[in-house]
Chains A and B, each alone.
Chain A
Amino acid sequence: MTLRSPPLAGVHEAAGAKMTDFGGWEMPVEFASIREEHAAVRSSVGKFDVSHMGEITVDGPDAERLTQRLTTNDVAALDPGEAQYAAITNDDGVMLDDTVVYRLPEGEADEFLFVPNAGHDEEMAERWASHREAWDLDATVTNCTTEYAMVALQGPDAPGLLAEVTDLSLTRMDRFDVERGAVAGVDSLVARTGYTGERGFEILCPWDEAEAVWSALECQPCGLGARDTLRLEMGFLLSGQDFDPEDEPRTPYEAGIGWTVDLGTEFVGRDALEQQDAEGVAEKLVGVELVDRGVPRHGYEVTSPDGESLGHVTSGTMSPTLGDAIALAYLPTEYRDPGTSVRVIVRGEPKKARTRATPFID
């Protein structure tokens, strides 16, 4: 398999970034150190190249209906210039991916754009196209993943820094608003979204002009390493790890994002989810912190204090902000209350741990 490269790969390597394969893309994992990059975002501002995220546009008379029927949230509730987080589920209500759906501002060539995770773009474009055929809808679906670069600017100082290079009125933008404007002279879509829990923006610009945007935003470049620790401190899900149709088949209710499910809309997986909503889930994704020394990692077993197997860690790290070893794990619902004693098995040794509310940070 050939790795796909973001438009800024050369810039990152020249900056001394360590690169890694993520979702079939060769991406920067670390520029300075994960700890420094993480701290920059929490205390000031950092920038991320997230051009590995997919971009798919949907247009035409049935664009809304098609997208409504393939995502769990209520697309009809979006005004132009607004976005929403949603899950994409199969007939069983199992999450295939999570995404942000944008109803683009007035005057755009396409009505909708949605952003599937790295490596899911082709599968999702195909899913939209095949359901359009099956339902005989009139919509154009285009995979634009290699037409758009995506730069995330995140941190309390992100609005000030971005304001220096754009004429957009950023203070007017609410969370999940999207507007078109020039960033460093490059015609871009700017959304008040992110994956860090901080104030910030995600900038979609033409692939070939990414370098102008990237270099104009003078601040700490951050890699996927810090992106992961930042999102995990917030308890945000990572597709393919905290849920995955093959390895970790979970519904939005189990994954703790039931708020993205609008059962009043018609979508693939709705009936299964309605039933699960009525019956309740047996297991739920909960936060866990280690009391003993150690670092919880993906796949580590979680047990009761008596040694009864309960589940496993889906994501874990040493939180750079807190200095605590934190994790997410699907556990039986009787373990969901914060402070419940459990064990995490680290290299064969049961380590004392307890459940903890997410977000892990305030």
Chain B
Amino acid sequence: MSFDVPEDLRYLESHEWVRVDDGTARVGITDFAQDELGDVVFVELPDEGEELTAGDEFGVVESIKAVSDVYAPVSGTVTGVNEALFDDPELVNEDPFGEGWMVELELADEDELDALLSPDAYRDQIA
């Protein structure tokens, strides 16, 4: 089975992705992660305004069979939360890099991005 690993994203070993656009980082979990979890039925996310430090657990994603913490790939202030996931958590399965995004952060330190995995490095990890 092969999984989507978009070229324009950066990744964390714990299967989160981050997309940076003009100082804002959008974060979600990868195609591999959603497949491992199976049917997502519940997502718990932080409130807007919360400060996250890279490596913090910022939320929880639950499938029928498993519970998994979600980690912040970078530090920053939560500026957006994907509330659509509260009613339609299956968006995480259907479109993990699009409609299934979880939070947006205002980046505290762009240099932290250098510590994240490239698409190739992440592909190697899940191979």
Q: Which residues of A contact B (CB under 8 A)?
A: 16, 29-30, 33-35, 225, 229, 293-295, 297, 317-318, 320, 325, 347
Residues A293 and B86 in contact, CB atoms below 8 Å apart? yes
Known: A34-B38, A225-B38, A295-B41. A320 touches B64 (CB 8 A): yes
**B-chain residues with CB within 8 Å of residue A297 when the two chains form the complex:** 67
- Rounded to whole angstroms, the CA-CA distance of A182 and B60 in the bound complex is 50
Cβ-based interface call for B127 (8 A): no
Q: In the complex, which residues of chain A have a beta carbon less than 8 angstroms from the beta carbon of B90?
A: 35
- Contact across chains for B39 and A33 when beta carbons are under 8 A apart: yes
Residues in chain B near residue A30, CB distance under 8 A: 38, 65
Task: Please name the residue on chain B nearest to A225 by beta carbon.
Answer: B65
* A34-B38, A34-B39, A295-B41 known; A317 vs B64 contact (CB < 8 Å): yes
Q: Is the CB of B42 within 8 A of A293?
A: yes
Q: A340 vs B38: C-alpha distance in the bound complex, in angstroms?
A: 32
CB within 8 Å for A295 and B39 given contacts A34-B65, A347-B60? no
Tally of contact residues, B, Cβ under 8 A: 13
B23 to chain A, nearest CB (A): 32
B36 to chain A, nearest CB (A): 9
Apart from A33-B39, A295-B41: 17 A-B pairs, beta carbons within 8 A: A16-B1, A29-B65, A33-B93, A35-B39, A35-B64, A225-B38, A225-B65, A229-B64, A293-B42, A295-B62, A295-B67, A317-B64, A318-B42, A318-B62, A318-B64, A320-B39, A347-B60
Ordered by A's residue number, 28 sampled pairs between the chains whose C-beta atoms are within 8 Å are: A16-B1, A30-B38, A30-B65, A33-B38, A33-B39, A33-B93, A34-B38, A34-B39, A34-B64, A34-B65, A35-B39, A35-B64, A35-B90, A225-B38, A225-B64, A225-B65, A293-B42, A293-B86, A294-B42, A295-B41, A295-B42, A295-B62, A297-B67, A317-B64, A318-B62, A318-B64, A320-B39, A325-B42
Nearest neighbor of A33 in chain B, beta-carbon distance: B39
Which partner residue on chain B sits nearest A37 by CB separation?
B39
Distance A11 CA – B70 CA, assembled complex (angstroms): 34
CB distance from A189 to the nearest CB of B (A): 31
B1: A residues at CB distance < 8 A: 16
Question: Which of B1, B41, B86 has most A Cβ within 10 Å?
Answer: B41
A318 to B93, CA, bound (A): 16
Cα(A34)–Cα(B64), bound, Å: 8
Residue ID in chain A nearest B86 by CB atoms: A293
Residues of B within 8 A of A347 (CB): 60
Report A-chain residues with C-beta under 8 Å of the C-beta of B38: 30, 33-34, 225
Chain B residue at minimal CB-CB distance from A29:
B65
Nearest CB of B to A241, in Å: 14
A41 to chain B, nearest CB (A): 14
Chain B residues whose C-beta falls within 8 Å of the C-beta of A29 in the assembled complex = 65
Alpha-carbon separation in the docked complex, A29 to B38 (Å): 11
In the bound complex, residues from chain A placing their C-beta under 8 Å from that of B93 are 33
